[in-house]
Amino acid sequence: MGRPSRRRRIALVGRLGSAGDSGGQPLGRTGHVQRARHLRAALPGSRRRPPDVPGRDRRRQSVMRAFLIGLAALLAGCAGAPAPDEESGSAGSEETAQSGGGAGNPLRNAYFGDLHVHTSWSLDAWTFGHPMQNDPAVAYRYGRGDPITDADGNLRGQLRTPLDFMAVTDHDNFFGEVQLCQDPEADTYDLPVCEEVRAGGGAAFMRHYGAANRNERDLELCGSTEPGPDNRCDQRAAHQWPMVQEVADAYYEPGVFTTFTAFEFTGSDPATGGWLHRNIFFRGQDIPPWGGG
């Protein structure tokens, strides 16, 4: 906005002079300065802070009072939140987890376990596990904190803190083959391939695991390279699968040690040769019959 006309300036000065407290007397330097300040504040377009308007301070006080009341209510609500009960603290949670008593709090309790465990029922664990072979039952005993000893009674291992949950996930491929080679009553027990598997070591692992990963079956051992009733390896795996469930159920202790029926799907991508290993878990006791990976 432009500068006001001379007539408007005179009118403004007249109003300011009549509102002053000088009583019409000449103003000194201080009076002129004060009058100039009032004039600049009253002029349109002035950047100076306009004079206080009656009631503005009261509105500010009302807004500030409302803000302080809201802040006080918020702080009171936070302060009134219930403090964590001492019995439900970390010590109580640890005691509950160890004893299995009381209702757990899923939002506060931390549980630790292992969902990828191989035993002597898997080719890799068998060939590299000599001289100590541990089946799923031994694995679950180890997971729940039991001491594990060898045939001579020497302690071989024990967890310092038992696990809360665990799943044995033996490989589906070569699952039946390992059982046929471990069973002295099986007709295949004395086959050269089984002698090599029982001997263990890296050479046996590389020779048989690579073929198993490609889902290639040993004709001499399995009797057929195709799945079906004529395949001894498939039939033995189907016979062994309910035992996986039975062992998992036998070591399940509600509130103390949770076990899962599971296996590891062991396959490879035909195009790239890359592994497609995945652990498969089952909930409850409605477990489908063995069909392989």
The 10s digit of each residue's pLDDT in 129-142 is: 765 678 999 999 99
Residue 77: predicted pLDDT: 59
Domain range for 27 is 1-52
Q: Are residues 142 and 242 in the same domain?
A: yes
Q: What percent of the chain has pLDDT over 70?
A: 62
User: How far is residue 129's CA from residue 131's CA, in Å, rounded to a whole number?
Assistant: 6
Rounded average pLDDT over 209-216 = 70
Q: In the predicted model, is pLDDT for residue 109 greater than 60?
A: yes
Do the domain assignments include residue 252? Answer: yes
Q: Are residues 257 and 162 in the same domain?
A: yes
Rounded average pLDDT over 255-260 = 96
Other beta carbons within 10 angstroms of residue 127's beta carbon come to 24
Do the domain assignments include residue 104? Answer: no
Q: Are residues 137 and 214 in the same domain?
A: yes
Do the domain assignments include residue 149? Answer: yes
Domain termination residue (choose one: 25, 52, 79): 52
8 A C-beta contact, residue 237 and residue 176: yes
Q: Are residues 9 and 133 in the same domain?
A: no
Q: In the predicted model, is pLDDT for residue 65 greater than 80?
A: no
Domain termination residue (choose one: 9, 26, 52): 52
User: How far is residue 270's CA from residue 216's CA, in Å, rounded to a whole number?
Assistant: 12
User: How far is residue 222's CA from residue 68's CA, in Å, rounded to a whole number?
Assistant: 82
Do the domain assignments include residue 11? Answer: yes
Q: Which of 29-38, 124-133, 166-175, 206-215 has the lowest mean pLDDT?
A: 29-38
Mean pLDDT of the chain: 76
| Tokens coding 91 | 């010590």
User: How many domains is the chain built from?
Assistant: 2
pLDDT band at 203 (very low <50, low <70, confident <90, very high): confident
